[in-house]
């Protein structure tokens, strides 16, 4: 099975064996034991980097010696990673419940320590380009093997983008153009075809035909009633007009009669 620390196998088999055991403990969810194992890995790595050490030197002594020799940012981070793993391992050794997230962080820092140690031994720039893979830690398989579906999704998305770009190009080439106030011929043809298509009437179903006939009859009835009302209104107006004329004639006759009588009496009196 593959491991994030495979590069260490050809450089230091002892350290490789320690870190492989740490990964197994993590996968089996023995987080405290994993933290202790990582502490052992970090201590041995630190001693190898420091070089000649006395048997009575503790992990703290080794780390402090390395701390005194810090000259670069990389060396500073190396010592900080050692301190972190040492504290985590001490907590696990004293029976404290170490969270899985903390142990995972310790494994990642052990990876950075291993990278620094491998580069210290081999001076190969390719080692510095290696990156930690969470999936590889859990499944012991490279990310590319576990993300095959994601690769298919990526390819599908690329094809989708290409298709969208193609359609956009077609749209841009067929978009309406205006030259001297006239529309593009292809656009006009499309509009005319659309209008012709809309002119074609669909054949009605029997139920639709019945409804249409009922509507037609209702419209006819309403129209007849309106015409009837208008005619009766006209007749009524005509009758009123005739009555008014007769009344005027009658009033005129009465006025003339009264006038004649009055004039006759006046002549007789004088």
Is 10 inside any structural domain?
Answer: yes
Q: Which two tokens stand for residue 54?
A: 């006395």
With beta carbons less than 8 A apart as the criterion, state whether 27 and 138 touch: yes
Query: Are 116 and 153 in the same domain?
Result: no
Least Cα distance to 82 among 118, 112, 102 occurs for 112
Query: Are 98 and 73 in the same domain?
Result: yes
Report the 10 Å Cβ neighbour count for 168: 10
pLDDT at residue 259, rounded to an integer: 76
Query: Are 155 and 264 in the same domain?
Result: no
Is 163 inside any structural domain?
Answer: yes
**Rounded to whole angstroms, how far apart are CA atoms 241 and 256?**
23
pLDDT at residue 16, rounded to an integer: 96
Is 213 inside any structural domain?
Answer: no
Query: Are 103 and 117 in the same domain?
Result: yes
Provide the domain limits for residue 158: 147-173
Residue 134 belongs to domain with CATH number: 1.20.120.330
**Rounded to whole angstroms, how far apart are CA atoms 35 and 163?**
51
Query: Are 98 and 161 in the same domain?
Result: no
Last residue of a domain, one of 141, 163, 188: 141
Query: Are 18 and 104 in the same domain?
Result: yes
Query: Are 50 and 126 in the same domain?
Result: yes
Is 193 inside any structural domain?
Answer: no
Rg from Cα positions in the chain = 53
List, in order, residues 6 or more apart from 150 with CB less than 8 Å away: none
Query: Are 126 and 167 in the same domain?
Result: no
Query: Are 103 and 156 in the same domain?
Result: no
Query: Are 58 and 157 in the same domain?
Result: no
Is 211 inside any structural domain?
Answer: no
pLDDT at residue 146, rounded to an integer: 45
Q: Where are the beta strands (DSSP E) in 90-152?
A: none
Residue 182: enclosing H or E segment and its boundaries?
A: strand 182-183
pLDDT at residue 183, rounded to an integer: 47
**Residues of the chain scoring pLDDT < 70:** 143-157, 159-160, 162, 167, 170-171, 173-202, 225-226, 229-237, 265-270
Is 219 inside any structural domain?
Answer: no
pLDDT at residue 258, rounded to an integer: 83
Is 80 inside any structural domain?
Answer: yes
Q: How many domains does the structure of the chain reveal? A: 3
| Residue 147 exposed, middle or buried by CB count within 10 Å (0-12, 13-18, 19+) | middle
**Rounded to whole angstroms, how far apart are CA atoms 133 and 146?**
11
pLDDT tens figures, 138-182: 988 875 544 444 554 565 667 667 677 776 776 676 665 544 444
């Amino acid at each position: 099975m593959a491991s994030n620390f495979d590069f260490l196998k050809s450089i230091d088999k002892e350290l490789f064996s320690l870190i492989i055991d740490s990964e197994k403990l993590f996968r089996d969810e023995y987080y405290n034991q994993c933290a202790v194992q990582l502490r052992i890995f970090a201590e041995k790595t630190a001693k190898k980097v420091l070089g000649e050490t006395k048997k009575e030197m503790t992990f703290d002594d080794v780390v402090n010696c390395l701390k005194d020799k810090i000259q670069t940012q990389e060396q500073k981070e190396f010592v900080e990673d050692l301190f972190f793993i040492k504290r985590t391992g001490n907590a696990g050794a004293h029976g404290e419940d170490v969270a899985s997230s903390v142990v995972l962080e310790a494994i990642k820092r052990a990876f950075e320590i291993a990278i620094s140690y491998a580069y210290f031994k081999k001076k190969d720039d390719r080692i510095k380009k290696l990156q930690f893979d969470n999936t590889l830690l859990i499944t012991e398989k490279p990310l590319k093997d576990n993300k095959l579906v994601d690769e298919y999704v990526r390819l599908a998305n690329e094809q989708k983008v290409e298709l969208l770009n193609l359609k956009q190009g077609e749209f841009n080439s067929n978009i309406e153009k205006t030259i001297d106030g006239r529309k593009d011929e292809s656009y006009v043809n499309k509009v005319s075809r659309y209008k012709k298509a809309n002119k074609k009437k669909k054949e009605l179903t029997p139920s639709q035909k019945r409804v249409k006939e009922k509507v037609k009859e209702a419209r006819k009835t309403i129209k007849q009633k309106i015409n009837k009302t208008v005619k009766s209104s006209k007749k009524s107006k005509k009758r009123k007009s005739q009555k008014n004329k007769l009344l005027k004639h009658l009033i005129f006759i009465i006025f003339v009669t009264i006038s004649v009588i009055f004039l006759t009496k006046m002549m007789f009196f004088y």
